[in-house]
């Protein structure tokens, strides 16, 4: 009886040990295994932002005061926006100076004609979604430099001088400068230099007057320097002062009959009439013969004939006494203006 109870107890312990081993093995088999989750794609957002690019046809605007040389003061701006969802886009433009021909749309013209020199900004915003409550926006901007027109390159004007045609030595002559073209806005200043003579008046002006006394037969060069252009701007010309004319011995009448002398005086009168600016000089020489008159008397008789018979103005006839010679004679001289009169 005792033996049967012991056997039953041993069997019970064995059964419990087997049950515990089975339970431990089952837990060990399942240890470290996580339950697998099913993969589901993330939902895409309902709105995606647009992209934008902005192009300007120039980045520098130069403004010049004169319209002919002014570079184009207008800048063309073009914005290109893309909506990934293909939604319609709205464009809104702003500028920090100047004015736009339109403040919406993809293409606008930016006028900077009245802007001061500096850097200016143009911006554009694109929107998609309801007006006033956009769902997505994009923004970009560009800068443009406005600069003043550079100063013009200095240019000499066209300078020329009018040289006088001098007819008579000893009289004042004038030189006149003419200036045209050159750098705009310059007030020319004149400085004259002459090779001979003396400037009487006009230094610093376009016209000078020069005294030519004592310069007969010599050339005069006049140079004008036109200042104010930061360049050497000048012109030169030369005037020739004529040498004084020489008196011309027209005739010398010796001992002849009265009619022959009158005929030769008639020819001399015609020459005086053809040379209204000239004077006639009559130089009489007395002879040693009894019938010879003094040189003064013979010249005076010839003058009286030219004035009373031939009508020559008495102021144009000069009578000189040449004194005595072996044979008397009468010299007829034609003296043009400026010529040195003959002497006996």
Using alpha carbons, select from 258, 257, 240, 130 the residue that is nearest to residue 195: 240
pLDDT band, very low/low/confident/very high, at 12 (cuts 50, 70, 90):
low
Dihedral pair phi/psi, residue 223, rounded to 5°:
-120, 130
191 domain-assigned: yes
In a domain, 301, yes or no: yes
Say if residue 172 is in the same domain as residue 111.
no
In this structure, are 142 and 60 located in the same domain?
yes
Q: How does pLDDT run across 250-297, given as a tens digit for each residue?
A: 999 998 999 999 999 999 999 999 999 999 999 999 988 766 789 999
pLDDT digits (tens, 9 = 90+) for 151-177: 778 899 999 999 998 877 788 999 999
Closest CA to 47 of 138, 132, 141, 139: 138
pLDDT(9) > 70: no
pTM above 0.85, yes or no: no
Same domain, 236 and 300: no
Query: How far, in Å, CA of 302 to CA of 319, rounded?
Result: 9
Query: Which tokens go with 110?
Result: 């930016």
Q: What is the rounded distance in angstroms from the CA atom of residue 334 to the CA atom of residue 246?
A: 9
> Could you list the residue range(s) of the whole structural domain that residue 184 is in?
158-240
Domain boundary among 148, 182, 205: 148
* Residues 90/106, Cβ–Cβ less than 8 Å: no
Instruction: Indicate whether 132 and 177 sit together in one domain.
Output: no
Does residue 46 lie within any of the structural domains? no
Per-residue tokens: 146: 């406005």
The total domain count for the chain is 3
CB distance 52 to 136 below 8 Å:
no
Task: Give the pLDDT mean for 233-246.
Answer: 90
* Angle 115-119-123 from CA coordinates, rounded to 5°: 95
The mean pLDDT of 107-125, rounded to a whole number, is 94
- The one-character DSSP state at 124 is E
Q: What is the pLDDT of residues 130-155, one digit of tens each?
A: 777 777 889 999 999 999 888 778 89
Q: Is residue 318 in some structural domain?
A: yes
List pLDDT tens digits, range 59-84.
999 888 765 555 688 999 999 999 88
The answer on pLDDT for 20 being more than 70 is no
Q: CATH no. for residue 285?
A: 3.30.1330.60
Residues 181 and 234 in one domain: yes
The whole-number pLDDT of residue 208 equals 96
Q: Are residues 222 and 257 in the same domain?
A: no
| Beta-carbon count within 10 A of 334 CB | 20
- Clarify whether residues 163 and 114 are in a common domain: no
For the chain, percent of residues with pLDDT exceeding 70: 84
We report the CATH number of the domain holding residue 225 as 2.60.40.10
Query: The tokens 């003064």 sit on which residue?
Result: 296
Mean pLDDT of the chain: 85
Last residue of a domain, one of 187, 221, 240: 240
Higher per-residue confidence, 175 vs 27:
175
Q: Are 179 and 145 in contact (CB under 8 A)?
A: no
- What whole-number percentage of the chain has pLDDT above 90? 62
Neighbours of 312 (CB within 10 A): 19
């Amino acid at each position: 009886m005792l033996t049967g109870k012991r056997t039953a107890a041993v069997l019970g312990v064995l059964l419990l040990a087997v049950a515990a081993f089975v339970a431990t093995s089952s837990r060990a088999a399942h240890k470290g295994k996580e339950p697998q989750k099913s993969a589901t794609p993330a939902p895409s957002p309902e709105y995606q932002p647009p992209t934008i690019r902005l192009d300007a046809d120039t980045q520098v605007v130069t403004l010049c005061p004169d319209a002919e040389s002014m570079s184009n003061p207008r800048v063309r701006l073009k914005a290109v926006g893309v909506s990934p969802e293909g939604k319609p886009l709205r464009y809104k433009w702003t500028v920090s100076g100047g004015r736009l021909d339109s403040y919406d749309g993809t293409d606008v013209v930016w006028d900077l004609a009245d802007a001061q020199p500096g850097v200016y900004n143009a911006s554009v915003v694109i929107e998609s979604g309801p007006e006033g409550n956009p769902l997505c926006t994009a923004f970009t901007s560009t800068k443009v430099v406005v600069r003043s027109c550079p100063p013009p390159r200095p240019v000499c004007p066209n300078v020329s001088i009018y040289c006088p045609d001098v007819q008579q030595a000893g009289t004042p002559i004038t030189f006149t400068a003419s200036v045209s073209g050159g750098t705009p806005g310059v007030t020319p200043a004149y400085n004259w230099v002459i090779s001979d003579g003396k400037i009487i008046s006009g230094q610093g002006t376009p016209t000078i007057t020069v005294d030519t006394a004592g310069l007969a037969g010599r050339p005069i060069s006049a140079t004008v320097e036109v200042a104010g252009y930061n360049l050497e701007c000048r012109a030169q010309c030369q005037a020739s002062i004529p040498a004084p004319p020489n008196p011309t011995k027209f005739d010398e009448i010796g001992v002849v009959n009265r009619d022959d002398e009158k005929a030769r005086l008639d020819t001399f009168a015609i020459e005086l009439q053809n040379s209204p600016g000239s004077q006639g000089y009559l130089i009489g020489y007395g002879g040693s013969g009894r019938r010879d008159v003094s040189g003064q008397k013979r010249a005076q008789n010839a003058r009286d004939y030219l004035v009373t018979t031939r009508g020559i103005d008495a102021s144009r006839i000069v009578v000189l006494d040449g004194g005595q010679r072996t044979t008397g004679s009468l010299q007829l001289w034609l003296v043009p203006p400026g010529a040195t009169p003959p002497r006996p």
